[in-house]
A and B are shown apart, each in its own frame.
Chain A
Amino acid sequence: MSAPVIFDRSREEIEEEANGDVFDIEIGVSDPEKVGDGMNAYMAYRVTTKTSLSMFSKSEFSVKRRFSDFLGLHSKLASKYLHVGYIVPPAPEKSIVGMTKVKVGKEDSSSTEFVEKRRAALERYLQRTVKHPTLLQDPDLRQFLESSELPRAVNTQALSGAGILRMVNKAADAVNKMTIKMNESDAWFEEKQQQFENLDQQLRKLHASVEALVCHRKELSANTAAFAKSAAMLGNSEDHTALSRALSQLAEVEEKIDQLHQEQAFADFYMFSELLSDYIRLIAAVKGVFDHRMKCWQKWEDAQITLLKKRETEAKMMVANKPDKIQQAKNEIREWEAKVQQGERDFEQISKTIRKEVGRFEKQRVKDFKTVIIKYLESLVQTQQQLIKYWEAFLPEAKAIA
């Protein structure tokens, strides 16, 4: 019988536990509140965490965060984890137009809609981030969730200098991507990349169609409301009493149906459409991770080439018999041998990480889609059942016309 081995909870162990679906942390984003006036105004959101994980000091706590805080968090996480192969969930997109309307104080339905859309997106963003076992360990994430005060994330301001710099970097990256010709030794990566490329295209198509659906359902709702009004007016003009009453009842039914359509359009959007747009952006992050692997490979490849050159130089120096140059060459060779080894290790590590990440991502994707599809279909059932209720109530009224 061996003595029980006691060791600190390693990162691996926590990740294993995480994969076992015991994920006791829930994030809510709520209570959007406008702070300040005019163009300097912003929306503050309440971020509430409920958890039994021991790494947090309390089991329930909340803080106030603004949109740029979320962007800042993502920026930090991305800079730490993306280039080593972790799929970091992307933050919701900025919208200058949407936000301006809110700042200017337009209290209309479109700005309320915009705020709600953003709130929901922020919530989903955090939920996805904390579900990632590695990211959950990150101190920046913990600080985001727990600290009452957060240093203002400056680099995320729209059109700031840093922003422009980032745009330029992205462009340079794109050019690089095109020129890297990697010797893919592992077919798995090529396969997966192709798979994600296809998935991306299909999701975009589906998303566009669902957006059209949402639009038409909203139109249907508006038209139904208009019809309800004119049916009521018609009922008023009608001098036959029973018919008049039936027409008023019809107007009421149509009004209720208008409500139904609105709620369904809501479900169409928040369940179906937003899921698709989230995944379109997630897949962009996945593609990014594959690109980083390519760059990593490039770095390793470059190191190997440089090492070769250094060896050639050494050989040349040997022939020319320049002892001090030979020493320098030997030093450089050692330096680059280390770099080559590091490059190889890095490449293997990122490849390993990506394999695991993609596995986790796919599992999560299946779960997400299945859950949402079921929820969405249930919303459709709900609508149909309400329709049945309304028309069943109306039928006797129509029959009562004598």
Chain B
Amino acid sequence: MEEHLEAGKESKPSSMSPDLQGDSSLQVEISDAVSERDKVKFTVQTKSCVPHFARTEFSVVRHHEEFIWLHNAYVENEEYAGLIIPPAPPRPDFEASREKLQKLGEGDSSITREELAKMKEELEAEYLAIFKKTVAMHEVFLQRLAAHPTLRRDHNFFVFLEYGQDLSVRGKNRKELLGGFLRNIVKSADEALITGMSGLKEVDDFFEHERTFLLEYHTRIRDACLRADRVMHSHKCLADDYIPISAALSSLGTQEVNQLKTSFLKLAELFERLRKLEGRVASDEDLKLSDMLRYYLRDSQAAKVRGGPRADLRAGATREGGQVGKGRGPGILCPCRPQDLLYRRLRALADYENANKTLDKARTRNREVRTAESHQQLCCQRFERLSDSAKQELMDFRSRRVSSFRKNLIELAELELKHAKASTLLLRNTLVILKGEP
């Protein structure tokens, strides 16, 4: 199925657009997207006065794996250890819609032609919605990178934005996947060890608080996200129910010879319109509530280090483009998470403590003091640098979260009001007509 999305023509779901600080020296957007068979191709357009680039306006075509490549490049870069890397966009997934469309195509003799046409319409709208969402997710990822003072200067980012040819990145093969998997297990085990280590005290109240907060917050936002999804799903079912009801009323109306004819036909019309409204309520809830929760769920994703394997996130399953398998396994840490940021800082603290001990030993034995000293200096600097940037990042994370929630909750309420008012008007008009009949 060929699907084209023209920027500006459709209102993009912008629930996730970051608050760009009005810094126009690097503007990135996805101006077009095409869905071909199994792949989605995004046209990434950049407008920039950064001297590095050859031109001020240019675009390239990228597919999903290339976004993942970029994400991994950031994650694996030691220099960004003290930063929160924006989460990678999820893989475009049209499986569910495609299956439904196929089933519909196989045909069911009990459904009338009109009903079939309406169901197809619904499905196509659903497909389009998923498509728009995936475009938005990819765009937001790039825009967050472009807005971050440090990350935007990354060489790989420039390559991603400018290089005209295919980046020829392949998804990680099994060995690499496994390697990544194992590395993460080691990391989680490590963290468990570090935090369990006696003698290592958290020196900063701020980080202690953040740690506890993130753990609890993550669990709760995950619950909220799952349940918001279910609400949205129920709403969709409800809207779909109106299709056969409208069709049956229509048949009834056509067959009637008495005054009920108009009543039934009017009702059929009413339910058809109500269906569209209910459908919109469902999709708005999806965008403003579910998606927002899902985004911050991934953003705050914490490893269940103590709890064991519980990382199966069905709703908004984060298929981290090749990095982690199916999100299962004991305490998977994702390097771009605030939680992981805290881990890196703790790791640095542990290293620093160790370096201190080594220095003490060296001084006692009066051997290799110089090396021990410089190593300890290094560790200290690293730790302090990490702590500072981590603090900043975490505070940014918090303010981003608050403003995003605010924006989405306001928009959610406004949309709900809009739809409720439209429904009321529709219902009242129908009532007037029905009551006016003799």
- What residues of chain B have their CB less than 8 Å away from a CB belonging to chain A? 213, 216-217, 220-221, 223-224, 226-228, 230-231, 233-235, 237-238, 241-242, 244-245, 248-249, 251-252, 255, 257-260, 263, 267, 270, 398, 402, 405-406, 409-410, 412-414, 416-417, 420-421, 423-424, 427-428, 430-431, 434-435, 437
User: Is the CB of A392 closer than 8 A to any CB of chain B?
Assistant: yes
Q: Which residues of chain B are within 8 angstroms of A208 by Cβ–Cβ distance? A: 244
User: Is the CB of A220 closer than 8 A to any CB of chain B?
Assistant: yes
Q: Which residues of chain B are within 8 angstroms of A234 by Cβ–Cβ distance? A: 217, 220-221, 223-224
A231 touches B224 (CB 8 A): yes
Q: Which of A220, A229, A231, A373 contacts B434 (CB 8 A)?
A: A373
Q: Which residues of chain A are within 8 angstroms of B228 by Cβ–Cβ distance? A: 227
B263 touches A369 (CB 8 A): yes
Which DSSP category, helix, strand, loop or mixed, fits chain B's interface?
A: helix
Q: Which residues of chain B are within 8 angstroms of A385 by Cβ–Cβ distance? A: 420, 424
Number of A-B contacts (CB under 8 A): 152
A395 and B423 in contact (CB under 8 A), knowing A381-B428, A381-B431?
Answer: no
Q: Which residues of chain B are within 8 angstroms of A384 by Cβ–Cβ distance? A: 420-421, 423-424, 427
Cα distance A365–B260 in the bound complex, in angstroms: 9
Q: Which residues of chain A are within 8 angstroms of B259 by Cβ–Cβ distance? A: 366, 370
A388 touches B231 (CB 8 A): no
User: Is the CB of A401 closer than 8 A to any CB of chain B?
Assistant: yes
A246 touches B409 (CB 8 A): yes
Q: Which residues of chain A are within 8 angstroms of B427 by Cβ–Cβ distance? A: 377, 380-381, 384
- What residues of chain A have their CB less than 8 Å away from a CB belonging to chain B? 195, 198-199, 202-203, 205-206, 208-210, 212-213, 216-217, 219-220, 223-224, 226-227, 229-231, 233-234, 236-240, 242-243, 246-247, 250, 362, 365-366, 369-370, 373-374, 377-378, 380-381, 384-385, 387-388, 391-392, 394-395, 398-399, 401
A394 touches B213 (CB 8 A): no
B234 touches A219 (CB 8 A): yes
A401 and B223 in contact (CB under 8 A), knowing A370-B434, A384-B423?
Answer: no
Chain B nearest CB: distance from A1 CB in Å?
Answer: 40
A401 touches B238 (CB 8 A): no
Q: Which residues of chain A are within 8 angstroms of B414 by Cβ–Cβ distance? A: 395
Chain B nearest CB: distance from A58 CB in Å?
Answer: 36
Which of B259, B263, B409, B428 has the most C-beta atoms of chain A within 10 angstroms of its own C-beta? B409
Q: Which residues of chain A are within 8 angstroms of B437 by Cβ–Cβ distance? A: 370
A237 touches B220 (CB 8 A): yes
A240 touches B398 (CB 8 A): yes
Q: Which residues of chain B are within 8 angstroms of A198 by Cβ–Cβ distance? A: 255
* Apart from A210-B245, A370-B437, A385-B424, 14 more pairs, CB < 8 Å: A213-B238, A216-B241, A219-B237, A220-B231, A223-B230, A223-B231, A224-B231, A230-B224, A231-B224, A246-B405, A374-B431, A377-B431, A395-B417, A399-B410
Chain A nearest CB: distance from B418 CB in Å?
Answer: 10
A377 and B409 in contact (CB under 8 A), knowing A212-B241, A237-B213, A392-B417?
Answer: no
**Complex A-B, nearest 9 residue pairs according to Cβ-Cβ distance, in ascending order:** A220-B234, A206-B248, A398-B409, A401-B406, A227-B227, A209-B244, A230-B224, A230-B223, A223-B230
Cα distance A380–B428 in the bound complex, in angstroms: 10
Q: Which residues of chain B are within 8 angstroms of A242 by Cβ–Cβ distance? A: 402
